[in-house]
Amino acid sequence: MDTVSHGLAGSVLVRSLSERTAARAALLLGMASAMWPDLDFIFLHDRLDYLRNHRGWSHSFVYLPIFALALGLLAKLLFRRTPLSTLAIFCAAGIVSHILFDWMTSFGTMFLVPITRHRYSLDWVFILDPIFTGICLVGLAAAAIARARARRIAAIASAVLSGYIFFCGAVHARALATWKRIDQPPAGANVAVLPQFLSPFRWLGLTEHPGEVHAAFFDVGPFARGAANPKEPGRFAISEILRSLADYYPPPERLIVQRFPEPPPSRLLETARALPDVQTYLAFARFPLATVHPQPDGGAVITWEDLRFLPWFTGPWVRDRAGRMQREPFVYRVRLDALGSSVERGFVQSSRFR
């Protein structure tokens, strides 16, 4: 979830817990503490460090009591008449909301660091969700207008927000069952359906099969239509983006399964896979797909892409060098010479699929 939406949601939720005498503290601390975990980016040096540590220690339930107390002590300098225990509870509630709302996305949250660095994800809600943000905004605005009933309004907004999240969870369960029925994953396979931009009904299905990965965009909603030959948006215009979104998400009975073959084992591929930075990337990626391009000198260029970020419709949009609209996924590339020595490696903005 984006940081601003975290702050709005935290403010609404914490305000629903507070009496009128502590309303100001609840609103401000709910917002500040709910945004605080994303400040871990200050300690991240590059994109690999981001993949390794973002949503780690600052998002951990283990460290949460320490952070809540520390933030509460700082807040005591501003809200001297409010008990420290109350301020710490407000901060704890805000941090808990951040962790839970990140958990419901597909990025993965290490909320049990340092016990384990496993990334947990529910895959219920897209990381940028205007419905989620809109519920919070409306709730805060209504609470600001009707201050005498602000706590009740905040409680109603919190209930509506919770209802929306569980609705997305129910749709996710339906989409996952639909994808499994269509793709028939083998026993024990890595399979997921991932939420998509601007609609709780649009999903990306992914399954690891022996030697290949299957993927398909589809819509389980009542207004799904799709297009036989969808066209990419030619320019950054809301109307074209919305049209393309609808065109690329057909109903399940008309979805098109894409099959991406995995490369055969090779010495250079295993050498690249063993590099520490590639290990970091693979530990983050849930559906990593490698592509091997042999070079005239006997070396190879090996590119990994996490198919969670498969173009096109997972947002945001950027313009490529040819002026077309293109997704910037997490793509990592390694160039090896014939002896297996690294010549070049790092993130790239292009995808092999476009």
Domain count, the chain: 3
Using only the alpha carbons of the chain, give its radius of gyration. 23
Q: Which amino acid is at 13?
A: L
Q: What is the pTM of this model?
A: 0.89
- Identify the domain boundary among 110, 133, 168: 168
Residue 37 covered by a domain: yes
> Does residue 313 contact residue 197 with C-beta atoms inside 8 Å?
yes
The token pair that represents 200 in the structure block: 């709780």
Helix, strand, or coil (residue 342): strand
CA angle 106–108–113, rounded 5-degree value: 165
Chain segment 100-116, per-residue pLDDT in tens: 999 999 999 999 999 99
- Does 28 share its domain with 146? yes
- Does 239 share its domain with 106? no
Residue 127 covered by a domain: yes
SS3 labels along 210-269: CCEEEEEEEECCCCCCCCCCCCCCCCCCHHHHHHHHHHCCCCHHHCCCEEEECCCCCHHH
- Does 164 share its domain with 47? yes
- Does 59 share its domain with 102? yes
Q: What is the pLDDT of residue 314?
A: 44
Cα torsion angle, 326, 332, 335, 336, sign: negative
Which residues neighbour 225 within 8 Å (Cβ) at sequence distance 6 or greater? 246, 247, 250, 251
Q: What is the pLDDT of residue 316?
A: 42
Q: What is the pLDDT of residue 326?
A: 56
- Does 299 share its domain with 236? no
- Identify the domain boundary among 214, 235, 260: 260
- Does 100 share its domain with 229? no
Q: Cis link prior to 304 (omega < 30° from 0)?
A: no
Average pLDDT, the chain: 90
Residue 35 covered by a domain: yes
- Does 337 share its domain with 226? no
Distance CA 155, CA 110 (A): 29
Chain segment 135-154, per-residue pLDDT in tens: 999 999 999 999 999 999 99
> Across residues 299-317, what is the average pLDDT?
76
Q: What is the pLDDT of residue 231?
A: 73
> Across residues 239-262, what is the average pLDDT?
86
Chain segment 16-60, per-residue pLDDT in tens: 998 888 899 999 999 999 999 999 989 988 889 999 999 999 999
- pLDDT above 60 for 352: no
Residue 283 covered by a domain: yes
- Does 254 share its domain with 267? no
Q: What are phi and psi of 289, to 5 degrees?
A: -125, 125
Residue 24 covered by a domain: yes
- Does 14 share its domain with 155? yes
pLDDT bucket at 351, cuts 50 / 70 / 90: very low
Q: What is the pLDDT of residue 205?
A: 97
- Does 109 share its domain with 62? yes
Residue 179 covered by a domain: no
- Structural domain harbouring 225: 185-260
Residue 176 covered by a domain: no
- Does 132 share its domain with 225? no
Q: Which amino acid is at 64?
A: L
- Identify the domain boundary among 226, 260, 294: 260
- Does 30 share its domain with 138? yes
Q: What is the pLDDT of residue 246?
A: 82
Closest by CA to 47, choosing from 316, 239, 280, is 280
Residue 178 covered by a domain: no
Chain segment 159-175, per-residue pLDDT in tens: 999 999 999 999 999 99
Instruction: Number of helices (H) and strands (E) in the chain: give both, helices first.
Output: 10, 10
